[in-house]
């Protein structure tokens, strides 16, 4: 199948970026038969990234399996904010000749494919990375992407107890679509991403509230909790952070159409105050 035919089939199926998608599909398929099958699946409505088997995120190629939430470009803003905090925290470099010390502890909750965890692992110097998801398909996928420990279970439940009080970055793109708004999502999301990845309860904040309530048990003094949210939900989300004992602020990116709540556990001295460059463009790498 030549490129104009691929473009025509994609366009007929309603793909807005048919030329771009055709290029990606043709570059990824190893045989004409595979290309035909991929075009068929894409024309049938499967998200492009699930057809390709990967998504670009923070300059990395993240494996994405069918039925697993596709990492969104807007979530790169959360990674940028986390990297900025880590750099602002000015963890002292090792003196020359000293043995390698363990890096900072990073935990990604609701990790999905593991995109956030993988990006932080790539951007930070020798981090110890842990990631959790409740969905076995997401966990299998994340194990392909995350250079660290990936656990299956409910939020904090599967984390090793030794991490309590020691986590410096706790990050999550938790489900935050209000239940009644699921029906308004694009068909690609509704049909091919699991409900557990999308549904955040009546106001979309059920999982965020549980994460915020549990965070003080796991964060190190001065450690940070970062959760993606929407502008509309940010005030209620910030209240949940405060109820959990975290100082909360909201960062937004107009370019990425992204909003991130950042909470800090008091007690870290100068490390509790945010610093460092705020507008990294490349996820810090």
Ligand X SMILES: C[S@@+](CC[C@H](N)C(=O)[O-])C[C@H]1O[C@@H](n2cnc3c(N)ncnc32)[C@H](O)[C@@H]1O
Terminal C-alpha separation, the chain = 38
What x/- string results for residues 53 through 72 when contact with ligand X is judged by CB under 6 A? ----------------x-x-
CA distance 37 to 39: 6
CA distance 171 to 226: 5
Contact between 259 and 250 under an 8 Å Cβ cutoff? The reply is yes
Smallest separation, CB 71 to ligand X (Å):
4
Could you say which residues in the range 177-196 bind ligand X, by CB under 6 A? 196
Q: Can you tell me which of 116, 118, 248, 261 binds ligand X, judged by CB under 6 A?
A: 116
Q: Can you tell me which of 6, 25, 132, 205 binds ligand X, judged by CB under 6 A?
A: 132
Smallest separation, CB 119 to ligand X (Å):
10
Q: Can you tell me which of 135, 148, 168, 244 binds ligand X, judged by CB under 6 A?
A: 135
Strands 167-172 and 105-109: parallel
Quick one: the chain helix, strand, coil %, rounded to 5? 40, 20, 40
What x/- string results for residues 207 through 246 when contact with ligand X is judged by CB under 6 A? x---------------------------------------
Nearest CA to 114 out of 163, 72, 49, 62 is that of 62
Helix 3-12 and helix 18-28, axial crossing angle in degrees, nearest 10: 130
Q: Can you tell me which of 15, 63, 123, 155 binds ligand X, judged by CB under 6 A?
A: 155
Binding window for ligand X (CB under 6 A); candidates: 38-46, 98-106, 130-138, 275-283 = 130-138
Binding window for ligand X (CB under 6 A); candidates: 31-39, 88-96, 118-126, 134-142 = 134-142
Question: Smaller CB distance to ligand X: residue 204 or 222?
Answer: 204
Smallest separation, CB 242 to ligand X (Å):
22
Using rule CB under 6 A, residue 83 touches ligand X: no
CA distance 204 to 68: 20
Q: Can you tell me which of 50, 81, 84, 113 binds ligand X, judged by CB under 6 A?
A: 113
- Calculate the dihedral angle through the C-alpha atoms of 6, 8, 11, 17, rounding to the nearest 10 degrees: 50
Using rule CB under 6 A, residue 81 touches ligand X: no
If 0-12 CB within 10 Å is exposed, 13-18 middle and 19+ buried, where does residue 263 land?
A: buried
DSSP 44: T
Residues that bind ligand X (CB under 6 A): 69, 71, 75, 110-113, 115-116, 132-135, 138, 154-155, 173-175, 196-197, 207
């Amino acid at each position: 199948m030549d490129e104009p035919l691929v473009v025509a089939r994609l366009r007929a199926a309603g793909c807005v970026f048919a030329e771009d998608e055709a290029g990606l599909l043709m570059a990824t398929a190893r045989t004409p038969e595979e290309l035909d099958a991929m075009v068929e699946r894409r024309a049938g409505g499967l998200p492009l990234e699930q057809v390709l088997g990967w998504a670009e995120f923070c300059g990395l190629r993240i494996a994405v399996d069918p039925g697993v939430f596709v990492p969104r470009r807007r979530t790169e803003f959360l990674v940028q904010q986390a990297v900025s905090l880590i750099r602002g925290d000015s963890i002292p470099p090792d003196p020359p000749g000293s043995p390698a010390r363990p890096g900072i502890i990073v935990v990604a909750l609701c990790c999905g494919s593991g995109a956030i965890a993988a990006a932080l692992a790539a951007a930070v110097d020798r981090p110890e990375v842990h990631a959790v998801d409740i969905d076995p398909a997401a966990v299998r996928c994340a194990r392909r992407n995350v250079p660290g420990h990936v656990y299956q279970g409910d939020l904090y439940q599967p984390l090793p107890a030794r991490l309590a009080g020691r986590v410096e970055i706790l990050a999550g793109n938790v489900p935050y679509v209000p239940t009644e708004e699921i029906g308004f999502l694009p068909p690609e999301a509704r049909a091919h991403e699991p409900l557990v990845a999308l549904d955040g309860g009546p106001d979309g904040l059920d999982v965020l509230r549980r994460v915020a309530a549990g965070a003080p048990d796991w964060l190190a003094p001065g450690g940070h909790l970062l959760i993606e949210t929407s502008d509309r939900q940010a005030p209620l989300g910030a209240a949940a952070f405060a109820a959990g004992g975290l100082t909360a602020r909201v960062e937004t990116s107009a370019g990425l159409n992204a909003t991130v709540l950042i909470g800090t556990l008091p007690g870290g001295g100068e490390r509790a105050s945010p610093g460092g460059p705020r507008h990294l463009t490349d996820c810090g790498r």
